[in-house]
Structure 1
């Protein structure tokens, strides 16, 4: 049996695996990368990029509808099949492009499923055994199972992104960002949309007050949101499906629709790697790593991205972690993962963002801070476009003036979040932001409104 030896064996070709491969190869190391489910990973193929194609189109339609009576005339609608065809034109070429890019740089790329058979060896189906001085696990995450009877009648978010025809009615199960984003898309495209969520709080990880404002905005889009509705089971009938739930009073309640979509979160995609054979410690959040993104139980192994225990399941986090992994492989353990200032975005209409600490977490940590909050719908920037639901909450450390948390619901929220993310990462203060000559009128300039 031939064992092929390499300096670095990387499992997964998404943003994390791709970054590690590129940096290590550039440093002169012998790198091989293994992929079993599409070159490029979840983000460009089944996540961020295709989702944003749908989001941008439906956002544009919602914008025009909200400006009715302000000048724009006529009605707009979504041609779902044309939108999906456009999505395919943008997304379908990506795997071949990623694979060509790797091979052009002389980075070995192998298709197949990898199983650990030792602390530094993996068996790749259809290829053979690889031994690495370092092995990087960057296999991402997959949709979490609902674990109720009839779950097979439901669709995953991945399948929703391939939906050829938009049904008249959809029930989304779960109260996380995936559910809210796809519900916003489907409603703007003309579907009758319902969200059912097991607990009283949706969008954990985002500011609670702004999440409630987003629910109001979703209701204006026609989305019905039901909380405290744990799912008991799913049944199929002649017209579609029925989702059985229990309400807060303990009574059974049913929601019928043409289609049901699971959006209850994601889990690390590591259970098929036979990681026990390599002595790799894991938790329900992924591979347990130290500050250097190195396995705490197997020094040959590193992990980055959604399959690593630390951090948040975001592309930006995966890239930052991957850079730390690559440098620690190249230079020795010298770089700790630093995710300060990472922004989380819910691409609904309007979008909601969270950067830094939540208000409740800052209080638990005993931080003395000032809260700047208010209704952003009254700003001229939002009145001009007819946006009725917008708000902000900024946490300023009292003693230093540094920004420790920023939360915003409104137009161009992702770009406002980037500014606050930079401020948090680099220790900028309220005064620093107020003294910046922002372009006017712009949503960057609205930072001045938040502190006045």
Structure 2
């Protein structure tokens, strides 16, 4: 049978576009469908605009810290609308770059919602196309719990378009999205209450890291409450947040729902295929192949490791295998990640608890260093950095590296290369540190 395309990609986010471009470079005839703006969550509602807001949130503290070095500044005034406009202008610029990338790759773009008619046929806004292979790269969306009044809360998607800065805000959820926005808004002057269901934020991260960052967040003025959301209601005094333990919080503008994300599979027409969905995500094998032999999936809709660089790597591995004659799979070992809280968190490898569970407590050795970076000595601020290495005693190999502190993501990115290559503690010890720097602590811990 003759198909319209060799490959049709549903979703023009980072993973989808990376796959489409790579496949087209190998000579495949490729199309991509997108119902929203190009670039997906990362460019439009995630990594990029959020990181720009993180930068914006740091300037007030820079002014305070500068006084310790002899600088005097007049009190500044923050313009929320200017920041939001500037952030969204940058997103628009990036949308244009993504359009240029697919144009240069000669990838056809179908604007509209795509759904399966059958395993080889896609309907895009009423137009039918066929493809030999189809890749699902639709990403995820914020999860809204089914509780009374939840429609009064915005999600992390809408925060980038708020017309006014909230004076009082409650954030639900202790994951990385909730923590990042709590820190951003708090530093910009919003009174923030964060509601978490467990005793610590950032479940899944190393316990020392969780404790360190939560302590710092509370010291910076974020009120963290362990409780569960029961309902939201609008009152004359503001938005009333009702919690399980008879607690109540009033906010003047909005509550931000940051309770995780789930694959965006609504109205995709998967029932017209043999694609299997497990626990709300598309089931795939090591080659990103679904239970329908010609249909594949990458990125957050598969709920493996939901990070933009992972989706891109999965997509490129798929394209290399099917169209480039280079059969390979994505390697999920030692994938580094960061949380852009204040202070910043970054990590690679396994946690101390995971190492103990896998090897036993006597088989690992843990190194920690907690200190005040030199930068904060003259401003006389008690900001701390925590670094941690987990080592397997039997072969001295480093199993995990974790950090809380300024520049954590930049530092751990380099450390991740060493760990990916199988570095030992002896390798770290033999490396000369850059002095004076925080990073040198990773090669001087004893």
TM bin (shorter chain):
over 0.9
Q: Does structure 2 retain, via aligned residues, the 8 Å contact 1:66–1:387?
A: no
Give runs of aligned pairs for residues 19-418 of structure 1, distance below 5 A. 19-66=18-65, 68-74=67-73, 75-126=75-126, 128-227=127-226, 229-247=227-245, 252-258=246-252, 259-284=254-279, 286-295=281-290, 297-310=291-304, 312-331=305-324, 334-366=327-359, 368-377=363-372, 379-380=373-374, 383=377, 386=381, 388-418=383-413
Q: Does structure 2 retain, via aligned residues, the 8 Å contact 1:403–1:424?
A: yes
Residue 362 of structure 1 deviates from its aligned partner by 1.5
Whole-Å Cα distance in 2 between the matches of residues 426 and 120 of structure 1?
41
3-state SS in 2 of match to 1:182? helix
Aligned pair 1:9/2:2, yes or no? Answer: no
Residue 432 of structure 1 deviates from its aligned partner by 2.2
Q: Go from structure 1 to structure 2 and tell me whether the alpha carbon gap of 1:195 and 1:13 turns closer, same or farther (over 3 Å shift).
A: same
Residue 352 of structure 1 deviates from its aligned partner by 1.0
In structure 2, runs of 5+ residues without a counterpart are none
Whole-Å Cα distance in 2 between the matches of residues 384 and 327 of structure 1?
53
In structure 1, runs of 5+ residues without a counterpart are none
Q: TM-score, normalised by structure 1?
A: 0.92
Q: Go from structure 1 to structure 2 and tell me whether the alpha carbon gap of 1:71 and 1:207 turns closer, same or farther (over 3 Å shift).
A: farther
Residue 335 of structure 1 deviates from its aligned partner by 1.1
Residue 93 of structure 1 deviates from its aligned partner by 2.3
Q: Does structure 1 retain, via aligned residues, the 8 Å contact 2:8–2:133?
A: yes
Whole-Å Cα distance in 2 between the matches of residues 394 and 383 of structure 1?
25
RMSD: 2.0
Whole-Å Cα distance in 1 between the matches of residues 408 and 377 of structure 2?
16
Whole-Å Cα distance in 2 between the matches of residues 413 and 224 of structure 1?
24
For each residue in 1:373-431, what CA deviation from the matched residue of structure 2 results, as whole angstroms up to 9, or x when unmatched? 13133x43554674513212211111222221111100100012102221222112222
Whole-Å Cα distance in 1 between the matches of residues 105 and 314 of structure 2?
22
Q: Does structure 2 retain, via aligned residues, the 8 Å contact 1:144–1:266?
A: yes
Whole-Å Cα distance in 2 between the matches of residues 285 and 355 of structure 1?
27
3-state SS in 2 of match to 1:446? helix
Whole-Å Cα distance in 2 between the matches of residues 424 and 121 of structure 1?
44
Q: TM-score, normalised by structure 2?
A: 0.94
| Total equivalences in the alignment | 441
3-state SS in 1 of match to 2:28? coil
Residue 53 of structure 1 deviates from its aligned partner by 0.7
Residue 60 of structure 1 deviates from its aligned partner by 3.1
Q: Does structure 2 retain, via aligned residues, the 8 Å contact 1:143–1:265?
A: yes
For each residue in 1:75-117, what CA deviation from the matched residue of structure 2 results, as whole angstroms up to 9, or x when unmatched? 4453212211221221122223312321232111111111111
